[in-house]
Amino acid sequence: MIGSDITLASQYLSQGETVAIPTETVYGLAANAFDPEASAKVYQVKNRPSFDPLIVHTHHIDEVGKFTVSWPQPLHQLAQTFWPGPLTVLLEKSDVIPDLVTSGMQRVAVRIPDHPLAWQLLQKLSFPLVAPSANPFGYVSPTTATHVSDQLGDKIPYILDGGPCGVGIESTIVGMESDQVTIYRLGGLAKEVIEEVVGSVTVKTSSSNPQAPGMLTSHYAPKKKVVLGTIDTIVDTYDGTQGVILFKPNDALKGYHISVLSPRGSDREAATNIFSALRLMDRSDVDTILAEILPEQGLGRAINDRLRRASS
Ligand code: TXA
Ligand code: MG
C-alpha cells in the first residue's frame, strides 16, 4: 500500500515490519535499527548479501550518542554543518546496534535525512531506523514511491509517499582513516563542499575496499547494456537504435529514446533525474544505453561513479 500516513508507518515499524520511506536522496527500506530480526527482514526483502551493512537514520544529532561510543572532531563538524542532509558518517558503534546492521564491523553508518515526512516519522519512534535504498540488491535506487512499488510493492506492507526525491542520488559516506577524512562513497554532498569545512579529503571508493563493502563494481545497474562516452563519441556511435542519456541538450541528438538529464546543464538537476532516466531506458525497447560522462566536479563525480558501475 502507498500513502502518507505517518501513524500507520510508525505502527508497522514498531511491530518489527519494514516500511519504505522517502528521504531527500533516495527512498529507503526502513526497519527498527535496534531489532536484529527487523533488520534481517530488510536484507531478505532486498535480497541483499549480509556482508553489505546498513545506514542508521535518526532525527537529531543528540540521539547519535545513544548508539555510538566516540565522535572524531572533523566528522562531528561535518555533521553539524550538513545535517540534516545527504551526508553519512561512520562512527564506532555501541552494543545496542546489532552486528547484523554493520555486517560485523566496528563502525556504524549514521545520517539525519532532510525530508519532512522522514523526520516526523523518526521523531515519533523510540528507535532509529536502518534504511538501505529500497531497491532489489544491485539495481538502480528508487527516487519515487512508484519506483519502490514497481519492485517491492508486494513484499512490504507500506510505502510512505513523500514525492520525488530532491537530491536524487545516495548520501556521501565519510569516515576517518589514519586521522584523515576519507570519502567511501561519492554522493549527494559534493567533495568540494566537504573540503570547504575540513580541508582536503581522501577518496577511496574502489570496489576492493573492505571499509565500504557495498561498493561493488557492478551496482546501480539497469538490465540493459550501458556504454559510457563523451558527447563526441556518442554522436559518432549513435545509429538511431540505442537509447541515449545526455547530461545537457545537444542539437545532433534528438528523438524518442534520448533523455536529457539537465536542460540547463546543472549537475544538481542531473542528479535528480539520473535514476529515473536509467529506469525509463530499462522499460523501453532499446538494447543499449549510451550515456554521456559529466564534467568530473561537484555532483558530476557521484553521477559518473553511478554510471561507471551501471556500465560494468
Ligand atoms: O542516501 C542514502 O544513503 C540512502 C538513503 C535511504 O538514506 N541509503 C543508502 O543505503 O544508500 P544503501 O544501503 O543503499 O548503501 C549503504 C552503503 C553500503 O553499501 C556500504 O557501502 C555503506 O553504506 N556502509 C553502511 N554501513 C557501513 C559501515 N558500517 N562501514 C562501511 N560502510 C558502510
Ligand atoms: Mg543501495
| Amino acid at site 204 | K
Q: Pick from 16, 283, 310, 17: which is nearest to 150 by CA?
A: 283
Shortest-distance Cα residue to atom 18 of ligand 1: 214
pLDDT, tens digit, 9 for 90 and up, residues 120-141: 999 999 999 999 999 999 899 9
pLDDT, tens digit, 9 for 90 and up, residues 108-117: 999 999 999 9
Q: What's the pTM? A: 0.95
pLDDT, tens digit, 9 for 90 and up, residues 56-73: 999 999 999 999 999 999
Shortest-distance Cα residue to atom 17 of ligand 1: 214
pLDDT over threshold 60, residue 308: yes
pLDDT over threshold 90, residue 237: yes
- Please give the pLDDT value at position 214: 58
- Please give the pLDDT value at position 205: 85
229 forms bridges with which residues in the sheet? Answer: 292
pLDDT over threshold 60, residue 260: yes
How far is CA 243 from its chain centroid?
Answer: 24
Average pLDDT over residues 90-118: 97
Q: Which three cell numbers stand for residue 37?
A: 530480526
DSSP secondary structure string, 86-109?
SEEEEEEB-TTS-HHHHTT-SEEE
68 forms bridges with which residues in the sheet? Answer: 93
Whether the upstream peptide bond of residue 86 has omega within 30° of 0, thus cis, is no
Pick from 55, 106, 217, 309 the residue to mutate for probing ligand 1's pocket: most ligand atoms within 8 Å of its CB.
55
pLDDT over threshold 90, residue 11: yes
Provide the pairing of β-strand 2-3 with 158-160: parallel
Shortest-distance Cα residue to atom 21 of ligand 1: 214
- Please give the pLDDT value at position 255: 78
